[in-house]
Copies of this chain bind each other. A is one copy, B any other.
């Protein structure tokens, strides 16, 4: 099985994803928040790209909760920000959440254009998402959201940690990196495997979040294999796949 990595949502080309299993990563914080919300019983999440799109959805369906961020901050009129710590069972259990974030929701939606279904990955569910991806029997492509249109360390390291899980689950013989960037991600995963939190502090976006007093979010997002669940995006919505 071939594995590859696309470093930013802007670099997705539809044809490169055809017939492949896409894993979307924006671990600081969109995909970590999605995994956490789903683990806390959230029924469904609808990723949208703009604040206007989110507000118009809530007009049609007043029962939904609005979540997301711009510049890492709560959006006026929204119920929740983009911190996974806010997505508790009390707040999101049984609910539908419409989510808009700067990079993550865009990456998820763009990944789906080529691949049909997108698995939502993070450090929190690395092993589960690897197992699910392996079960599809298809080649795997990691879609990193990137930071301001550039390569992001934290998402690349998360891809590497999932690659290590793929390697272990498959017996180690069949995982072939399709590019030097995929090899680099794998090696970075090995480098940070014993301390994923360090990768978050090494990243520019992580340093920004820490400077904003969001270190607790980073600690939350760095916990390896906390959740044995895989959210998947298909037909405009995210539900728990396995």
Contact = CB atoms under 8 A, between A and B. Distances in A.
Q: How many copies of this chain does the complex contain? A: 2
A154 B152 CA distance: 19
A188 B153 CA distance: 12
Nearest to A199: B187
A154 B205 CA distance: 26
Nearest to A184: B153
A224 to B, nearest CB: 18
A61 to B, nearest CB: 37
Interface in A2-51: 7
A103 interface: no
A183 interface: yes
A151 interface: yes
A202 B187 contact: yes
A56 B83 CA distance: 63
A67 to B, nearest CB: 26
Contact of A191 (B180, B181, B187, B205): B187
Interface residues of A, number: 22
A156 interface: yes
Give the most central of A7, A179, A180, A188: most B CB within 10 Å: A180
A203 interface: yes
Contact of A156 (B147, B184, B204): B184
A7 B26 CA distance: 22
Contact of A180 (B152, B181, B192): B152
Nearest to A186: B202
8 contacts: A150-B179, A150-B180, A151-B184, A153-B183, A183-B204, A184-B184, A187-B192, A188-B188
Contacts of A156: 180, 184
Nearest to A156: B184
Given A180-B203, A187-B191, A190-B191, 10 more contacts: A7-B151, A150-B179, A151-B179, A151-B181, A151-B184, A156-B180, A184-B184, A187-B188, A187-B192, A187-B202
